[in-house]
């Protein structure tokens, strides 16, 4: 199976790509659903899941949204927004 995703980090990367496609296509309702799923995984997942959502998903989606000048504050759920702010503050930007 060529499309089989093997690690949690690869799955988070693929999930971020799906979310970005929804944003680009203008399907904001679907993008918000995906972000809500990521939020639930981030709040209820084990350490590895939280790490993958934080370091792969949030980073990828937020970077993409910044490049396209999308408003992160309107789309990101509370927990992911806090994680995004933590990443920005850690990076020294």
Query: Are 63 and 22 contacting, i.e. CB atoms less than 8 angstroms apart?
Result: no
Query: Residues 6-31: pLDDT tens digits?
Result: 899 999 999 999 999 999 999 999 99
Domain presence at residue 3: no
Distances in Å between the alpha carbon of 77 and those of 1, 29, 37, 40? 34, 13, 10, 10
Residue-number span of the structural domain to which 81 is assigned: 8-91
Domain presence at residue 1: no
Domain presence at residue 2: no
Q: Please determine, for residue 1, whether its predicted confidence score (pLDDT) is greater than 60.
A: no
Q: Report CA 43 to chain centroid distance, whole Å.
A: 13
* Of the candidates 75, 59, 86, 73, the residue with the CA atom closest to the CA atom of residue 23: 75
| Number of domains present in the structure of the chain | 1
Please provide the size of the chain in residues.
Answer: 93
Confidence of residue 5 (pLDDT cuts 50, 70, 90): low
Q: Please determine, for residue 46, whether its predicted confidence score (pLDDT) is greater than 90.
A: yes
């Amino acid at each position: 199976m060529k499309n089989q995703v093997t690690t949690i980090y690869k799955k988070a990367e693929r999930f971020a790509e799906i979310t970005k496609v929804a944003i680009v296509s203008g399907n904001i309702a679907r993008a918000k659903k995906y972000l809500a799923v990521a939020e639930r995984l981030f709040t209820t997942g084990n350490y590895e899941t939280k790490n993958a959502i934080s370091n792969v998903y949030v980073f990828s989606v937020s970077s993409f949204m910044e490049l396209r000048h999308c408003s992160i504050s309107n789309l990101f759920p509370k927990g992911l927004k806090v994680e995004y702010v933590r990443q920005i503050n850690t990076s020294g930007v």
